[in-house]
């Protein structure tokens, strides 16, 4: 019983935090989060401070309703410099 209380949540939106997602496209909506990402086979709206491109890997930072805040995995500016 005590082990179950120490483990992070395995269900619900909070279980997505820290997972890797893939950018599928930019959103076609005029307002709201600008990206669509796929995680565990599901599509989610996502927002990011950095510019993202289709195929980029991102880390999920938080989930709010049906959208999430993400950041680039491995911070591309730290690894290979700015994208051209």
Residue 6 lies in a domain: yes
Model-level pTM greater than 0.85? no
| Residue-number span of the structural domain to which 46 is assigned | 2-74
Residues 72/61, Cβ–Cβ less than 8 Å: no
Count of domains in the chain? 1
83 domain-assigned: no
Per-residue pLDDT tens digits for 3-43: 666 666 567 788 899 999 999 998 877 777 899 999 999 99
Q: What is the CA radius of gyration of the chain?
A: 14
Instruction: Evaluate if residue 78 carries a pLDDT over 50.
Output: no
Lowest mean pLDDT among 1-10, 51-60, 67-76: 1-10
Average pLDDT, the chain: 83
Residues 6+ apart with CB under 8 A from 29: 45
Q: What is the CATH number of the domain that holds 33?
A: 2.40.50.140
Measured over the CA atoms of residue 19, residue 25, residue 29 and residue 31, the dihedral's sign is: positive
| Spatial distance between the Cα atoms of 73 and 22, rounded to a whole number of angstroms | 10
CA distance 25 to 38: 10
Residue 79 inside a domain? The answer is: no
61 within some domain: yes
* Residue 24, domain member (yes or no): yes
């Amino acid at each position: 019983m005590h082990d179950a209380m120490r483990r992070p949540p395995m269900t619900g939106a909070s279980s997505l935090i820290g997972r890797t997602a893939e950018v599928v496209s930019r959103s076609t909506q005029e307002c709201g989060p600008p990206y669509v990402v796929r995680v565990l086979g599901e599509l989610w709206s996502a927002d990011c401070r950095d510019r993202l491109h289709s195929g980029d890997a991102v880390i999920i930072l938080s989930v709010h309703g049906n959208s999430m805040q993400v950041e680039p995995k491995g911070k591309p500016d730290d690894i290979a410099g700015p994208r051209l």
